[in-house]
Structure 1
Amino acid sequence: MKYIVTFVWALMLTQMVNFILNSLAGGGPYSFMSGVLLAVLITLTVFVLDYMMKDPNETAE
């Protein structure tokens, strides 16, 4: 569930940043897919960092 929430937040924030930067650059055609790809990349990065930072001696609860 936490990765779904991470993806939703990443999607919203990257779309906002994508729109603002596109507007500052002259307002050409808006690319929705570039924000989606960046959101997927951010979510995968969070997933990998979470996996790497777990303690191997930690027991499952």
Structure 2
Amino acid sequence: MKYLAVLFWAILLLEMVNFVLNSLEGGGPLNLITPIVAAVIFTIIVVLFDMTMKPLKKDTSQQ
């Protein structure tokens, strides 16, 4: 569920950045696909980063 929240906010924020940058350039046609692709890539990076940062579980029953 936390990764869906990351994806939602990544899409929302990257779409806003896309809109602002497009407006600063003079306001041509708005590209909606590129920010979504970037948000998916960002979410995958966050998932991989989370998987590598988790501590290893140690088995304490054998001591």
TM-score (norm 1): 0.88
Counterpart Cα distance in 1 of 2:58 and 2:39: 30
RMSD of aligned C-alpha atoms?
Answer: 1.4
For these two proteins, the number of residue pairs brought into alignment is 59
Shift of residue 58, structure 1, vs aligned partner: 5.7
TM-score (norm 2): 0.85
Q: Which runs of 5+ in 2 are unaligned?
A: none
Shift of residue 57, structure 1, vs aligned partner: 2.7
Q: For residue 51 of structure 2, give the secondary structure of its aligned residue in structure 1.
A: helix
Larger Rg: 2
The answer for the alignment partner of 2:4 in structure 1 is 4
Q: Which runs of 5+ in 1 are unaligned?
A: none
Counterpart Cα distance in 2 of 1:41 and 1:28: 25
The answer for the alignment partner of 1:55 in structure 2 is 55
Q: Which amino acid aligns with 1:17?
A: V
Which structure 1 residue ranges, 4+ long, deviate > 3 Å from structure 2?
none
Counterpart Cα distance in 1 of 2:37 and 2:58: 33
